[in-house]
Amino acid sequence: MVEQSSLQKPLPYYLQIQQSIKASIFNGVYKPGDRLYEAQIAKHFNISRSPVREAIRALVIEGLLVMDEKSQISVYKPNLQDVQEIYECRISLESTAVELAAERATEDQLQELEKTLVETSEWIKEGKTDLIVASNARFHELIIQYSGNLRLKKLVEELNGLINYYRFLNIQGENRAIAILKGHTDIYLALKERNPKKAAERLREHTKEDLTNLVQLIEQVEEKNF
């Protein structure tokens, strides 16, 4: 007799389109300021415009797409004010999370964090930028999770669209991947020591380094476009 098994329901069209557009933004296929058109996207996927419209609406809420007063859709263009404000939020929220994680994380959870460091090191050796960024995101997401504070987790998730976008930008620059790995390693060692204050300080230092690099990158782009 054949055992019963549950079927995996495919993702709704709008979620598939949302993920596809997001990947295109992160990978630079869609550039900052590029216009997007519902009709073209619907034609590309051979579907109606309704799920495309829903996907675009979700991405506008995330901040990755922008709708102007004429309802024209374009890709978010990073600016210094946004970066400063979002990183101020990150530093505040994530430093609290890492203090809580230092007190609450289990040994198995600390091993999971260490695993991301090993994976990041491997991706750096292989030059796999997308996987380096994914490991970077996972390290920070695990810290939020291990804080055990669901409301804090929800606040961070509201910023995640732009945070992840900035992570793809932030990998640019000389030895950036190695610098990111070092920052994560310092945070992990403080967590392993069960030292909340030290862990928070290491996280603030790491995040401020990211912010400095992003500001430099954005200023360089603004100078070229001036």
What is the CATH number for 55?
Answer: 1.10.10.10
37 and 111 both lie in a single domain: no
| Cα separation values, 181 from 6, 67, 73, 162, 225, Å | 40, 36, 36, 21, 32
34 and 117 both lie in a single domain: no
108 and 158 both lie in a single domain: yes
69 and 96 both lie in a single domain: no
Write down the pLDDT at residue 226: 52
145 and 97 both lie in a single domain: yes
Write down the pLDDT at residue 173: 83
Q: Does 66 map to a domain?
A: yes
Each residue's pLDDT tens digit, 171-216: 998 899 999 999 999 999 999 999 999 999 999 999 999 999 999 9
Write down the pLDDT at residue 197: 98
Gyration radius from the chain CA atoms: 19
Write down the pLDDT at residue 206: 97
Residues in the chain with pLDDT < 70? Answer: 1-9, 225-226
Enclosing domain of residue 36: 13-75
Q: What is the pTM of this model?
A: 0.88
Write down the pLDDT at residue 9: 59
Tokens 């991706």 correspond to: 123
Q: Does 6 map to a domain?
A: no
What is the CATH number for 96?
Answer: 1.20.120.530
Write down the pLDDT at residue 3: 44
Final residue in a domain of this structure, among 21, 56, 75: 75
54 and 39 both lie in a single domain: yes
Write down the pLDDT at residue 5: 44
Cα 7 to Cα 155: distance, rounded to the nearest angstrom: 33
Final residue in a domain of this structure, among 39, 58, 75: 75
70 and 127 both lie in a single domain: no
113 and 147 both lie in a single domain: yes
Strand ranges of the sheet holding 73-75, from the earlier edge strand across to the other edge: 35-36, 73-75, 65-67
Q: Does 4 map to a domain?
A: no
Final residue in a domain of this structure, among 36, 55, 75: 75
Write down the pLDDT at residue 2: 38
Write down the pLDDT at residue 164: 93
Q: Does 148 map to a domain?
A: yes
108 and 217 both lie in a single domain: yes
208 and 182 both lie in a single domain: yes
